[in-house]
Amino acid sequence: MSDFCDKSFRKAQNSALRILAHREHSVAELTQKLIRRGYASEVVQQVIAECLRLNYLDDQRVAQQVLARMKRKGFGIHRVRSELLKKGLAGAESGDDPGESMSPAEEHVVARRVSLKKWESLKHHPDATKRKLRLQRFLRSRGFSDSVVIEVVAAMDKEEDADLPANN
């Protein structure tokens, strides 16, 4: 019987290593994938423990990678939290929310960067109100907090007004 368990463990371990060779995974993601592939939960737990011991799995490292990728791609804190939840990373071992790693100032900088790009594509709309509403919807769909959306849209509107020649 132990030979069967050992063989099953080695098979699951090899499967886990193949999965981890492609990209980092959280403990929850790897657990789900191994269970979906038909491995017994006891074997999966042994494999997870071994991967953790060898430092092949690290939820904090995965959370930081997700956060960095989401910032680079121009997403806000709500979208980051959603992605972390999807990966089973909300409330990691440290006890705090990994999504809190993005400060409001950082979120504002990211929102500003993507807004400038989007604003260029909206310039062809003659109605300023529609432009602002479209920018608001765009930023909200990217997961930015309402306060950041309001601040960035107001700043973009103010800059546009400053760019216009004075009507005399």
Are 86 and 46 contained in the same domain? no
Comparing 123-127, 134-138, 158-162, the range with the smallest average pLDDT is: 158-162
At 65-96, the pLDDT tens digits run 988 999 999 999 999 988 888 888 875 444 45
On whether both 89 and 123 belong to a single domain, the answer is: no
168 located within any domain = no
Average pLDDT, the chain: 85
Range of the domain at 73: 60-101
Is residue 117 assigned to a domain? Answer: yes
User: Residue range 96-118: average pLDDT?
Assistant: 81
Per cent of the chain over pLDDT 70 is 85
Tell me: the pLDDT tens digits for 33-52?
999 999 999 999 999 999 99
How many domains, in total, are found in the chain?
3
| Rounded CA separation 45/41 (Å) | 6
What whole-number distance in Å separates Cα of residue 108 and Cα of residue 102?
A: 10
In a domain, 156, yes or no: yes
Look up the CATH number of the domain holding residue 38: 1.10.10.10
Both 90 and 138 in one domain: the answer is no
